[in-house]
Amino acid sequence: MAGLGLAAASPALALPPAAEGAADPDTSPSEWVALWPGTAPGAPASLPDEAIVERSADPARPDRIMQSIAQPRMAVFRPAQPGGAAVLIAPGGGYRHVVIDKEGFEMARWLAARGVTAFVLFYRLPHQGWAAGPDVPLADAQRALRLIRHEHAAYDIDPQRISVMGFSAGGHVAASLATGFARATYAPLDAADRLSARPDGAALIYPVIAMREALAHPGSRERLLGASPRAEQELAHSPDHNVPADAPPCFMLHAEDDDVVPVGNTLAMRDGLKARGITVDTHLYASGGHGFGISRAPGKPVAVWPEAWLAWARHKGLA
């Protein structure tokens, strides 16, 4: 496993000690997995300085973010009784940072409690000097999916039951993986890279999809493509315009009063999937806003969404 860049929990891979945030080992990651042996490809001369910022004033409801990603990795949450399914989670953060709790660890714990092995992806941010620029989040997602598939036996996972779930800008990462899994974004390194990066299902939760100015989330668009991208760059990085015939089935949800990422992003992705004959379940809610994850959803109609996803995933054999 070490030869593939996989590693058990270690100070070098974990969050800073003061930021682990969970004294109970049953709610902390069981281990951490480095995506790349050594430094990730195309690194800038000076790696970004990783830092954790706590945005919540309530100790019982942490809401941490990781500013900058120098060492892309996954936090693993193993269920007590694995059911054979896995989900790669891409948290949001507008490509400015990666959300740790609200769209990462909270969802991972929820999944693990239901027998699903969860991997929270800390992907590189495209504006921080990496040579591949806008392709670095997708490269990390491809590598992560391949590593999970390669090591499926070690995690008691069926290699054909690995899904991706993304929130907000992480929804763009997930949608890019669901549509661009076959794109060559990095030079193959090992046996894992001979495997397919295609997820078996995708869940896109209030996702960033479109990169054209009229519909895009402005911050995500600028940090992914720069201040003045060309039209062809916008299209190349808009998953709704790049759906292959073998894209996986998708589950999507959005609140129509989302004032951060317009609901039109989900509708555009639905149209792109339907045009290619890809099965898609779309859930729209009149209210809910943006960034509710799980813990900010109670009391709102959107609170039912995790169970709706679970029913869909079980129907598809993915949970």
- Domain harbouring 113, CATH code: 3.40.50.1820
In this prediction, residues 29-38 reach a mean pLDDT of 95
- Which residue reads 């090591």 in tokens? 151
The radius of gyration of the chain's CA atoms, rounded to the nearest angstrom, is 18
* 251 or 21, greater pLDDT: 251
Count the neighbouring beta carbons within 10 Å of the beta carbon of residue 45: 5
pLDDT of residue 25: 42
Q: What is the mean pLDDT of residues 10-38?
A: 66
Q: Tell me the pLDDT band of 298, cut-offs 50, 70 and 90.
A: confident
pLDDT tens, 237-268?
999 999 999 999 999 999 999 999 999 999 99
| Mean pLDDT confidence for 9-28 | 50
The pLDDT value recorded for residue 11 is 44
Nearest to 107 by CA among 315, 319, 255, 260: 319
Residue 177: pLDDT above 90? yes
In a domain, residue 12? The reply is no
Distance (Å) of CA 161 to CA 83, 198, 239, 297: 10, 11, 22, 27
3-state secondary structure of 253: strand
Domain membership flag for residue 96: yes
- pLDDT confidence of 15, banded at 50, 70, 90? low
100 within domain boundaries: yes
pLDDT at 17 over 80: no
16, 69, 169, 214, 299 from 99: Cα distances, Å = 15, 12, 10, 26, 22
Q: Decide if pLDDT at 26 tops 70.
A: no
Task: Name the residue range of residue 210's domain.
Answer: 62-315
Give the three-state DSSP class for 172. Answer: helix
Q: Which two tokens stand for residue 107?
A: 């969802």
Q: For residue 33, tell me if it sits in a domain.
A: no
Give 190's DSSP letter.
S
Task: Quote the pLDDT of residue 98.
Answer: 98
21 lies in a domain? no
pLDDT tens, 94-129? 999 999 999 999 999 999 999 999 999 999 999 999
Residue 113 inside a domain? The answer is: yes
Whether pLDDT at 20 is above 50: no
Q: What is the pLDDT of residue 27?
A: 62
> Who wins on pLDDT, 142 or 2?
142
Between 36 and 11, the higher pLDDT residue = 36
User: With 80 as the cut, is the pLDDT of residue 167 above it?
Assistant: yes
Give residue-wise pLDDT tens across range 269-279.
999 999 999 99
pLDDT (mean) for 180-202 = 98
Number of domains in the chain: 1
Residue 273 lies in a domain: yes
pLDDT at 311 over 60: yes
The pLDDT score that the predictor gives to residue 3 is: 42
Q: Look at residue 270 and tell me if it is in a domain.
A: yes
* Average pLDDT of every residue of the chain: 92
Does pLDDT of 5 surpass 70? no
